Amino acid sequence: MNFPTSEEAEEAFYSAMRDGDVDGMRSVWAEHDSIACVHPGSEPLLGRVAVMEGWMQILHDGIVPVQPEPLSASVGANLAIHLVNERVLDEGGRLIASVVATNVYELGRDGWRMLLHHGSQTPAAPAVPQQLH
Amino acid sequence: MNFPTSEEAEEAFYSAMRDGDVDGMRSVWAEHDSIACVHPGSEPLLGRVAVMEGWMQILHDGIVPVQPEPLSASVGANLAIHLVNERVLDEGGRLIASVVATNVYELGRDGWRMLLHHGSQTPAAPAVPQQLH
């Protein structure tokens, strides 16, 4: 898989989360050991093996119904940084978690690949339906 | 203040936190509105005014006794990404919080400046002294 822009790599990243697609997730990340991933509230995972094991555990449990909203982006010659608001929804489309993510991509021989993903939960209150009795 | 490398910008960033130095903190960040800062558990702050107001609030409350430990770094032509473990200590040198931070720097006319800081707390247990009765 070749991603001519960091936006296309990002699209594939969130598609893989939504589809529970481990192979898709594997193809998004750079194929060397300088990659790193921080899941919300967790210790950093460093290197290809640790990062991919982390995603296999998450995607093994099912799909992640995430809706990304770009906040800002800085694209350099060979590195790109995207700041993204991730809205995690339940089956009814209700917000169950809000995560802010820093996504870093690098330009290699095969196009843009993910180098770092750092997500952390924000205090945005989930939309819990209220019943008045 | 000119920082010839991203490492020197990072050193000034952590010095400003440790010294409660608002002017030092201001001089570390790029002087445009594409900067962003995510404090642990918080919503992202976007743009120069919001980012600097956030730091003024934090540093107004006192110094942040932080000890950075580099985890990984990727330096491109004009962007650099550092992943850092931040150990926050109390006056007795005991660990009171452990934060993982993604620090992004960009090379401008005046050298390297901070473009993004994203910190999130990790579950590392604080070293609480245990008393057996």
Residue B80: closest C-alpha in chain A: A79
Q: Is B118 on the interface with A (CB under 8 A)?
A: yes
So what's the pLDDT on residue A93?
85
Name the average pLDDT for chain A. 92
Q: Is B96 on the interface with A (CB under 8 A)?
A: no
ipTM computed for the complex: 0.90
- Closest residue to A79, CB basis, from B41, B74, B124: B74
So what's the pLDDT on residue B61?
86
So what's the pLDDT on residue B119?
98
Contact A42 B123 (CB under 8 A): yes
So what's the pLDDT on residue A1?
78
Q: pLDDT digits over A33-73, tens only? A: 999 999 999 999 999 999 999 999 999 988 999 999 999 99
Instruction: Give me the residue label for tokens 């995607």.
Output: A59
Contact B100 A38 (CB under 8 A): yes
pLDDT band per the 50, 70, 90 thresholds, residue A126: low
Contacts B71 to A, Cβ<8 Å = 36, 44, 46
Q: Which residues contact A103 (CB under 8 A, 6 or more apart)?
A: A10, A13, A81, A82, A83, A84, A114, A116, A117
What is the distance, to the nearest Å, from the Cα of residue B131 to the centroid of all Cα atoms in its chain?
A: 34
Regions of chain B where pLDDT drops below 70:
124-133
A18: left (phi over 0), alpha (psi -120 to 50) or beta: alpha
So what's the pLDDT on residue A130?
43
Return residues 46-75 of A near B (CB < 8 Å).
46, 71-72, 74
So what's the pLDDT on residue A62?
87
Of B93 and A117, the structure prediction assigns the larger pLDDT to A117
Percent of chain B at pLDDT exceeding 70 = 92
CB A66 within 8 A of CB A86: yes
So what's the pLDDT on residue B130?
43
Distance CA B77, CA B80 (A): 8
What the block records as the tokens of B49 is 């005014």
Range A98-112 average pLDDT: 96
Contact B41 A78 (CB under 8 A): no
Instruction: Give me the residue label for tokens 């700041």.
Output: A83
